[in-house]
Amino acid sequence: KDEPLPLHKRHGFWLVAITTAILLPMLGSHSLSDPWETHYGEVSREILSRSDWISTWWAQENWFWSKPILDFWMQALAMASFGVRYASGGMLSAFAEGRTPWPEWAVRFPIFLVTLLAGYLLYKAVAKVFGRRAGFLGALVLTTMPQWFMVAHQTMTDMPFLATMAAAMACVLLGMHTDPDQLARVYE
C-alpha cells in the first residue's frame, strides 16, 4: 500500500489554505452592501430574537416566505456562535464598548464554509478523474473567478445553492468513476 503523502505535499491542503487566504480575511471588512444581504440578515436576526426557527419574519413587514430557510438558519447559527448581540438595538452596541462589532463577518462566514467545501469536493472529483494537478488548478481558478469570488463574499441565497449544486456534481463525478465492486468503508 502507498505511503500517505505528508501534509505539505497534498494539493488539497494547499487548496484549502489558499482559498482561505483569498476569501476569509476581508469577509467582514465592509458593510452588508447588497439590499438582500441586509434583508436576509434581518430575517436571521429575527429568528434569534423571536426564538422561532421555523417562521421567518422580516422586521415590521410580516412573514417572509419567499426564500428557502437554509441560508437564514446558517446565518442565525453563526450569529449565535460568534456572540453577535441580536437583540433589538444591540447589533452595534459592542462598538460603544470599544470592541469591534463583526455581525457582517458572522453572517458571511457560513457562505465561506460552503464555498470552501464546494471547491474542495470539486478538487477531489477532478483529481480522481484527471489528476491532482488538474483538480488543484481547476478549483483554484474557480475560486478566483470574479462572479464566484463576489458571491462568496455576500450572504445571499445564491452561494448556498451554487455551492451545494457544485458539491453534488462533484459527488456524481466521484460516483461515476468509482469501481462498482469497491466496498464502502465501515465506521463503527
DSSP string, 115-138: HHHHHHHHHHHHHHHH-HHHHHHH
Give the three-class secondary structure for 58.
strand
Dist. CA 18–CA 173, nearest whole Å: 24
Residue pLDDT, tens place only, 37-59: 888 888 888 899 889 899 888 87
Q: Out of 23-32, 74-83, 94-103, which region has the weakest mean confidence (pLDDT)? A: 94-103
**Residue in the structure block whose three cell numbers are 463583526:** 102
The answer to whether the CB of 96 falls within 8 A of the CB of 144 is no
pLDDT, position 98: 67
The pLDDT score that the predictor gives to residue 87 is 77
pLDDT at 26: 84
End-to-end CA distance of the chain: 23
Which pLDDT does position 116 carry in this prediction? 96
Quote the Cα angle for 54-104-91, to 5°.
75
Give the Cα separation of 61 and 95 in Å (integer): 28
**Can you point out the beta strands (E) in 39-173?**
57-58, 62-63
